[in-house]
Amino acid sequence: MKEKKIVTVDHIQKAVAAVKAERPAYEELLGFYEKIFLAQEKAKEQTQLKSIQIPDELLSIKREEGFPLIDRADFAVDVKASETLLRELCRVAVETNEVLAEAGTKLVDALDQEALQVSTLFSKILSEDSQGFQKVAQELGVDEKILAFFSYNSLRPSLSLCAEQLAGYFDEDKLWKKGYCPVCGSPPALSILRDEGNRFLVCSFCGHEWHTQRIYCPFCNNQDHTKLHYFFGEEEKHYRVNVCDVCKKYLKTVDARELKHPIYFLLEQVSTLHLDLLAREQGLESGSPLWLQI
């Protein structure tokens, strides 16, 4: 049985402070992300959503076939709360560095002048309309990755509340042996080892965490242990990079049993960027999507 995830502002602040002390090189970056995490937690309290109902018949078909409960386009979003958060993230960006400040200013100006509807931005992310999204980025003159980062991070409170509600449809003790999220079908962003070495994957889109089998590649379902390996960063045996020799993708893994600080998966994701660099140097590709790569 996994421990319950309780995320509070205090939990986030403690985790960020601990990682900053462990890895001073990340201090500036984590200062930026801490503001984002805290703004998201605050926005979560203001977010109001209707719960998503899955009819029994559909639910049993999805279970039998191993389909996720919903598509990304089906997520409920509190557009007003997300727009408020988007504007707050732009404000944080303006304080951060020139590149982000320029993008944040352009985005707020476009919203103020009604040259951009925030719902357009959100719907392009949710419907996975990458061409449409690219077009909006070009028209705004904002880097596509930065725009994806702002947009996705503004949606996160709604996505995570939906995922928490939908998790009620699952039996938590049952393994989900697929490499995609049982809630929304997205690929994992991180793998976490918990008590007795049980492996959990965290969804890159909605943040849902699912208990899964130990040995396989979630991106191509390769289960041949001779074609799966991992490497460590220097002096940090509790962080590793799992590599699949078949699809050449990698996934970072955190061993929560060895961590000296509280775990917050978004923090682990950004405070292990040195492992992404190591993996890319080896010609490996991240399985994580665009909105997590800034």
Give the footprint of Zn ion on this chain (CB under 5 A): 181, 183-184, 186, 203, 205-206, 208, 217, 219-220, 222, 244, 246-247
Q: Which CB contacts under 8 angstroms, 24+ apart, belong to 65-68?
A: 66/178, 67/185, 68/180, 68/181, 68/182, 68/183, 68/184, 68/185
Shorter beta-carbon distance to Zn ion: residue 122 or 219 = 219
Shorter beta-carbon distance to Zn ion: residue 219 or 264 = 219
Residue 95 and residue 2: Cα distance in Å, rounded?
A: 39
CB of 234 to Zn ion, least distance (A): 25
Shorter beta-carbon distance to Zn ion: residue 86 or 183 = 183
CB of 106 to Zn ion, least distance (A): 30
CB of 105 to Zn ion, least distance (A): 32
Shorter beta-carbon distance to Zn ion: residue 70 or 275 = 70
CB of 87 to Zn ion, least distance (A): 26
Looking up tokens 């929560």 gives 256
What tokens does 60 get? 């049993």
Shorter beta-carbon distance to Zn ion: residue 104 or 188 = 188
Residue 261 and residue 90: Cα distance in Å, rounded?
A: 29
Residue 178 and residue 68: Cα distance in Å, rounded?
A: 10
Q: What spatial distance separates the first Cα and last Cα of the chain, rounded to whole Å?
A: 34
Residue 18 in 3-state DSSP? Answer: helix
Residue 207 and residue 161: Cα distance in Å, rounded?
A: 10
Residue 90 and residue 108: Cα distance in Å, rounded?
A: 7
CB of 51 to Zn ion, least distance (A): 16
